[in-house]
């Protein structure tokens, strides 16, 4: 039995002709546009890959302590190096590894420069150990050696603490002070002669293995032994009271005082200078 196709609805099936679309082709206008794009791309590549945007200078701001030479040496950029080949964030990260640098920003300054902005750590005291004068920030980080710093004149106004303790011989840049030492040192190094009732021109501060923190009016004046401090026992909180006690012991007798011993903020004593005996009058 042969099957036949079923015709529905009795209507005729309409057949439509397929429409062929003519290709747009490469018209002269399109060809010109493509050529212009290729020329532009080639020109841009030629500029960025060539020497038109090569490094000719590095502009550094804010490197007062670190020094511009240290910054440029760390960047290690080659004169003529193409600016578009320079990744700025790795350079900034490298600069932030310098102990004196708190933050660093590196950017490209067309047509021929790299711009560097440095924010340095703020020194609050100079820590004098042997021949080294180390700058200390508020966290106790020893972040620069004044002897090798470009900012030696800028730190002359900072208070100085001379550390002659045997254990301090290893202190160096990138190390951190004990927080108790930093607290006591900053309190004492910030004192003025007037605050302790002294007529001296200036005060010096030292820390020793024998007497702890020592404040002095000079080689021919007096010295005050403030002692040692800790986290829980005899903390630096004693210092304001010790300062007042020192003032009480100095007023009216400073010229006669050799050493002041401050046991705490309430008890203290002093040792007078030795009065030279009068020489005998020669017999006629």
Percent over 90 (pLDDT), the chain: 72
Residue 163 token pair: 């550390």
Same domain assignment for residues 148 and 218? yes
Average pLDDT of 106-122?
A: 96
Say if 67 falls within a structural domain: yes
Distance, in Å, from the CA atom of 256 to the CA atom of 222, rounded to the nearest integer, reads: 9
Looking at residue 70, what is its pLDDT? 94
Domain harbouring 111, CATH code: 3.10.20
Of 120, 144, 167, at which residue does a domain stop?
Answer: 120
Average pLDDT of 105-112?
A: 95
**DSSP secondary structure, 163-232, as one string:** E--GGGGG--TT-B--HHHHHHHHHHHT--GGGGT---S--EEEEETTTEEEEES-TTS-EEEEE---SS
Average pLDDT of 204-226?
A: 97
pLDDT at 196 over 60: yes
Domain harbouring 165, CATH code: 3.40.50
SS3 at position 1: coil
Q: Higher confidence at residue 240 or residue 23? A: 240
Same domain assignment for residues 80 and 130? no
pLDDT at 191 over 50: yes
Q: Higher confidence at residue 19 or residue 120? A: 120
Same domain assignment for residues 103 and 179? no
**Confidence band (pLDDT; 50, 70, 90) for 153?**
low
The alpha-carbon radius of gyration of the chain (Å, integer) is 39
Looking at residue 48, what is its pLDDT? 47
Percent over 70 (pLDDT), the chain: 77
Looking at residue 119, what is its pLDDT? 98
Same domain assignment for residues 129 and 266? yes
Domain containing 138 equals 125-272
| Neighbouring-strand partners of residue 141 | 176
**Confidence band (pLDDT; 50, 70, 90) for 12?**
low
Looking at residue 117, what is its pLDDT? 98
Looking at residue 1, what is its pLDDT? 47
Of 120, 148, 167, at which residue does a domain stop?
Answer: 120
Looking at residue 31, what is its pLDDT? 55
Distance, in Å, from the CA atom of 121 to the CA atom of 132, rounded to the nearest integer, reads: 19
pTM score, two decimals? Answer: 0.76
Average pLDDT of 145-165?
A: 83
pLDDT at 130 over 60: yes
Give the pLDDT confidence of 266-284 residue by residue, as tens digits: 999 999 998 766 655 556 5
Angle of the 179-189 helix axis to the 239-250 helix axis, nearest 10? 30
Give the pLDDT confidence of 31-63 residue by residue, as tens digits: 555 655 654 444 444 554 455 789 999 999 999
Say if 25 falls within a structural domain: no
Number of domains in the chain: 2
Mean pLDDT over each residue of the chain, to the nearest integer: 86
Looking at residue 166, what is its pLDDT? 97
Question: 4-18, 89-103, 114-128, 147-161: which range is least confident on average?
Answer: 4-18
């Amino acid at each position: 039995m042969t099957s036949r196709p079923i015709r529905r609805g009795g209507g005729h099936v309409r057949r439509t002709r397929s429409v062929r679309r003519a290709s747009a082709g490469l018209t002269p206008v399109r060809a010109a546009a493509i050529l212009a794009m290729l020329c532009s791309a080639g020109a841009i590549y030629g500029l960025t890959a060539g020497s038109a945007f090569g490094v000719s200078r590095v502009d550094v701001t804010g490197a007062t302590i670190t020094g511009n030479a240290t910054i440029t040496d760390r960047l290690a950029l080659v004169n003529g190096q193409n600016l578009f080949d320079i990744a700025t964030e790795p350079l900034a990260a490298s600069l932030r590894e310098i102990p004196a640098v708190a933050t660093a920003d590196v950017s490209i300054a067309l047509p021929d420069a790299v711009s560097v902005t440095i924010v340095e750590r703020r020194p609050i005291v100079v820590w004098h150990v042997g021949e080294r004068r180390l700058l200390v920030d508020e966290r106790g980080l020893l972040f620069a050696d004044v002897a090798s710093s470009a900012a030696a004149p800028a730190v002359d106004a900072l208070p100085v603490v001379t550390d002659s303790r045997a254990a301090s011989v290893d202190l160096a840049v990138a190390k951190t002070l004990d927080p108790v030492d930093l607290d006591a040192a900053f309190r004492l190094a910030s004192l003025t002669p007037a605050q302790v009732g002294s007529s001296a021109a200036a005060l010096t501060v030292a820390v020793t293995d024998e007497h702890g923190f020592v404040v002095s009016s000079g080689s021919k004046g007096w010295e005050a032994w403030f002692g040692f401090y800790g986290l829980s026992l005899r903390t630096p909180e004693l210092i304001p009271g010790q300062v007042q006690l020192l003032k009480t012991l100095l007023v009216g007798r400073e010229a006669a005082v050799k050493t002041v011993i401050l046991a705490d903020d309430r008890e203290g004593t002093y040792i007078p200078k030795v009065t030279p005996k009068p020489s005998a009058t020669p017999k006629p």
